[in-house]
Amino acid sequence: MEDCIFCKIVRGEIPTKKVYEDERVLAFYDVAPQAPVHVLIVPKAHSQDLLDSRALDDALLAHLLRTAAEVAVMLGLDKTGFRIVSNCGEDGRQSVKHLHIHLLGGQKLSERMS
Ligand code: AMP
């Protein structure tokens, strides 16, 4: 999508620190980290969120989740643990309307998730 920040990152129009990339997904460091390790994993094809029918390709969703786990291993988080989150809609406080998974770790995270 023309005006979507993450689509611009995927197209290389906005610089970012990439962690992993293949033909279907991209992982890059969050610009405003909320943990010592904070990576975003996004599908390259635009879809708004988990409710968007364009996101409901089972293989892509599985690959997105698998990539989050693989990036966690790449960054050594498998030894200590991590959290993955996907915010959706207003109450979920989703600020970028392009489906993404947050991967957070590098410290003991808050007990609360809300
Ligand atoms: P959410 O609030 O779940 O939609 O998360 C969007 C995330 O994107 C936030 O954690 C932002 O800090 C992050 N973000 C926004 N713009 C950029 C960017 N240009 N590069 C990396 N992360 C970004």
Atom of ligand 1 nearest to the CA of 93: 2
Phi, psi of 22 (to 5 degrees): -140, -165
Cα–Cα distance for residue pair 13/16, rounded to 1 Å: 9
Q: Which ligand 1 atom lies nearest to the CA of residue 14?
A: 19
**pLDDT tens digits for range 3-47:** 999 999 999 999 999 999 999 999 999 999 999 999 999 999 999
Round to whole Å and give the CA distance between 105 and 60: 24
pLDDT, one tens digit per residue, over 39-63 is 999 999 999 999 997 777 899 999 9
pLDDT tens, position by position, 57-82? 899 999 999 999 999 999 999 999 99
Q: Which residues are known to be catalytic?
A: 100
Residue type, 87: N
Determine the distance separating the centroid of ligand 1 and the alpha carbon of 50, expressed in angstroms. Answer: 17
Could you tell which of 96, 97, 99, 113 is best to mutate to test the pocket of ligand 1, judged by most ligand atoms within 8 Å of the CB?
Answer: 96
Query: Could you tell me how far CA 78 lies from the centroid of its own chain?
Result: 17
pTM above 0.85, yes or no: yes
